Structure 1
Amino acid sequence: MAEDLCFLSKIRTHAKARFLSLEAVQRPCSLLDIDPREIPYVHYPKPNTYDRAECACNPVRFFAILSTQRSGSGWFETLLNSHINVSSNGEIFSVKERRANASAIVATLDKIYNMDWLSSASKNECSAAVGFKWMLNQGLMAHHKEIVEYFNQRGVSAIFLFRRNLRRRTISVLANLYDRDAKLLNGTHKSHVHSPHEAKILATYKPTINATLLIHNLKQVEDTTAKALEYFKSTSHVILYYEDIVKNHTKLMEVQNFLRVPQRKLNSRQVKIHKGPLSELVENWDDVHNTLKGTPYESFIHADYQM
């Protein structure tokens, strides 16, 4: 135990020194016109793989979208990436090797925020906000202490994105798992679709939900969400809900303000798969209805929005 603590201390000391060193290198430009409270969140990366050229003194904000699977994070990320100044690089820690330990996570984060992580979403030299999408079960909770320290040291802002109606999320999770094997779209599995025709095909599958475990599973998701918010409460963060963004597009303006990027109309080509009342989306609706009725989750029974 003592050896583990000593090792962790060395990692943190080394990481802290590196963070400070990187910040010193990445601040070659004037900060005179920036609110002093914003300075920790303003960066001037120097990528190793290309030259930022005339954009070298354009400030860059670092962010991470923290979410759970099938909570609308893919759709939300496409909205952000439709902004000419935002680069969100996808679900980077879906690859296990990148989250194997704290050191692997820090090395990956360094590459992303040094703007050396090149993806189809990269705006390269003139990005004003750089980040990625991170699921809670991809090393985020297991290494939360080191990650919170990194976020605070490097000035990374967290964008939490959750769903209010966890029952709809469950339907999406089960349907997506089913399609991985069934491959309803001409033998191809797609987690997200770009046409109403494809959405209609995927929506033909109605999952059967285990009513016995239903309340336990909902409580588990709620507890994990609450734990994540508690872990990251010391970081710069904003909390968003998928349903709020669907109903109120001014929420996207709030996100752009949070990232300090110019206001733009954001668009996504993704098409929603599961629409309408929950009763039409679940095979064993009577079981689900009776299980939720009279519980704190009874509100999940009713359709909360239409698209």
Structure 2
Amino acid sequence: MPKEFCIVTQQRSGSRFLSTMMASDPDVMPLGECFQNTNKNAESFLNYLVQNAAAQNAMAWGSFYRKAWQSYIAEQKQTRSGRQSALSFILMYNQLDFLPKIFLDFIFEKYHVVHLVRENLLRRHVSNFVNSQRLTPAHRKVQAELTTCTLPVDGIVKDLDASASAIAAVRNMLVDREVMEVRYEDLASREGSHHARLVADFVGIGQYPLTTDLKQTNPFPLRSMLNNFDEVSNVLRGTAYESLLFD
């Protein structure tokens, strides 16, 4: 029997890539990033909360979130057709910050957790920058063409440290939960289908081939992508992130 699950990750770490692979199984009902800002996703849970805020009254926020979530999920299941039975959704690290702890405890107890980690924090940082400049779309269905950029180096080590600390904090948060950690680098490798199958086994799906039409946005060496590669290399020399330049 398929299990309901959530993918916990940082932005630009392959959540859409993994989510679409899992959703290629008809037993999976994907809600995507349903905790996303309401301006970006009209059908998000946050939008549902706003619409039903009057029901909160004197109810504690944690209890209100839980009750609203149960109603939201019931409505989502009712409006979707087909044989989908395993709910899936994405939780970003920054979204964990504003959710009540009692609600997060409920989520992590009720759903299997797939912790998706992008280990090359430098490539994630570059991807974030390129996406923020709108030089390439966030997700592609065709093979990407090389797009170069000049990466700001001020504060880059601090930013990479913050990303590493965020991963460690989430690992600590999930330490007593039923969780599977998977690397984006493994999913994007030639053995990607094997690693996706391991995730599928964890959540109890596996009757159908897992596929996605999404491609890597920037599959090129950083030396080719960064106009100021030497400058970035000098800043990272001697740090824990120097080796990521060549990964």
With structure 2 as the length reference, what TM-score do the two structures score? 0.82
1:102 CA drift (Å): 4.0
Give the aligned residue type for 1:219: D
Distance of 1:285 and 1:118 partners within structure 2: 49
Partner residue in 2 for 1:93: 35
- Contact 1:60/1:127 (8 A) holds in 2: no
Provide closer, same or farther for how the CA distance between residues 141 and 119 of structure 1 changes in structure 2, counting only shifts above 3 A.
Answer: farther
1:139-182: CA deviation from partner (whole Å, max 9, x where unpaired)? x13436223420355x2111111101011111111111111xx6
1:226 aligns with 2:168: yes
Give the aligned residue type for 1:131: S
Distance of 1:144 and 1:297 partners within structure 2: 34
Give the aligned residue type for 2:76: W
Distance of 1:136 and 1:297 partners within structure 2: 21
Identity across matched positions, percent? 24
Q: 1:211 aligns with which of 153, 171, 182?
A: 153
Provide closer, same or farther for how the CA distance between residues 112 and 268 of structure 1 changes in structure 2, counting only shifts above 3 A.
Answer: farther
SS in 1 for 2:171: helix
SS in 2 for 1:265: coil
1:146 aligns with 2:88: no
Partner residue in 2 for 1:110: 70
Give the aligned residue type for 2:89: F
How many residues align structurally? 227
Partner residue in 2 for 1:194: 141
Provide closer, same or farther for how the CA distance between residues 171 and 108 of structure 1 changes in structure 2, counting only shifts above 3 A.
Answer: farther
Partner residue in 2 for 1:68: 10
SS in 1 for 2:232: helix
1:137 aligns with 2:94: yes
Q: Once superposed, what is the RMSD of the aligned Cα atoms? A: 2.5
Instruction: Answer 1 or 2: higher relative contact order, Cα 8 Å, separation at least 6.
Output: 2
In terms of Rg, which structure is larger?
1
Distance of 1:152 and 1:135 partners within structure 2: 14
The answer for unaligned runs of 5 or more in structure 1 is: 1-58, 185-189
Provide closer, same or farther for how the CA distance between residues 276 and 156 of structure 1 changes in structure 2, counting only shifts above 3 A.
Answer: same
Distance of 1:159 and 1:284 partners within structure 2: 36
Provide closer, same or farther for how the CA distance between residues 64 and 152 of structure 1 changes in structure 2, counting only shifts above 3 A.
Answer: closer
SS in 1 for 2:240: coil
Provide closer, same or farther for how the CA distance between residues 233 and 283 of structure 1 changes in structure 2, counting only shifts above 3 A.
Answer: same
Partner residue in 1 for 2:234: 290
Partner residue in 2 for 1:168: 123
Give the aligned residue type for 2:201: N
Distance of 2:217 and 2:78 partners within structure 1: 26
1:95 CA drift (Å): 2.6
- Contact 1:148/1:231 (8 A) holds in 2: no
1:134 CA drift (Å): 1.4
Provide closer, same or farther for how the CA distance between residues 152 and 118 of structure 1 changes in structure 2, counting only shifts above 3 A.
Answer: closer
With structure 1 as the length reference, what TM-score do the two structures score? 0.67
Partner residue in 2 for 1:8: none
Give the aligned residue type for 1:194: K
1:246 CA drift (Å): 1.9
